[in-house]
Amino acid sequence: MCVQRKVFVTRKVPQPGIELLEGAGCNVELWDSDEAIPREELIRGISGAHALFCMLTDTIDGKVLDAAGVQAVKDGQWGKWKPMWLCGMELAQKTVGILGLGRIGFGVARRLKPFGVKKIVYHDVCRVGYADDIGASFVEFDKLLIESDVICICCNLTPQTKQRFNKSAFKKMKRHAILVNSGRGGVIKHDDLLEALTSGEIAAAGLDVTEPEPLPADHPLVHQPNCIVLPHMGSNTWDSRNSMSETTANNILSVFNDQTATGLVQ
């Protein structure tokens, strides 16, 4: 999703592409001409943009990229291509661990399968039969930490999961391991995570949820180069938000009609 993201389009293009971007919530700015965009207009338009919709004939060079706000360019790190620069880890033939194999955890695991992962392991309060549908194996929490190359947190925050990822847990993880939290911020003890990231105890972290939320702009994790923090946007799709809206409306109508609401909490 690109909600609140600016996309600059360098030429008149067929409307379906523009409608698709605008429908996703992008702020689309267009050079409204069939002719090639003047260079000064290209540089002006790319300023502050998150994406550039350009033509093969447009000259996209260092000056244009400088004008875009790309972080590596801002920091003076961008230059000629280097074979070992900004390299990450593939999921192929890796072990993925999932804490919490409920609907969300199962959905994450199912989507990861096509990437050629070697094995999926999970830990939860109990074994679940539907794990067999994706070939996921139940393991104890310590084994999940020790075996996984990537760990996805997909569980609720409970007394049992609160700060489950702490100094002790990070010491058991692989040094190249990546931790992704899409569950609840309180499952991670953030001070211990920062220490693990800065010391190289684990390789990287991706946080869609934090505690507190949002993290203060000056929080060290926000500026940690091997940590990506997103603004709790796991449900930021039109399909998801439309479904949430419809569910809420249907529940109101159910109550009006003396029927049982979906997901009723006893």
Which residues belong to the active site?
232
Helix %, strand %, coil % of the chain (to 5) = 35, 15, 50
Round to whole Å and give the CA distance between 165 and 146.
13
Amino acid type, 166:
N
Round to whole Å and give the CA distance between 174 and 54.
41
- Phi, psi dihedral angles at 152 (to 5 degrees): -110, 125
Amino acid type, 9:
V
Q: What's the chain look like in SS3?
A: CCCCCEEEECCCCCHHHHHHHHHCCCEEEECCCCCCCCHHHHHHHHCCCCEEECCCCCCCCHHHHHHCCCHHHHCCCCCCCCCCCCCCCCCCCCEEEEECCCHHHHHHHHHHHHHCCCEEEEECCCCCHHHHHHCEEECCHHHHHHHCCEEEECCCCCCCCCCCECHHHHHHCCCCCEEEECCCHHHECHHHHHHHHHHCCCCEEEECCCCCCCCCCCCHHHHCCCEEECCCCCCCCHHHHHHHHHHHHHHHHHHHCCCCCCCCCC
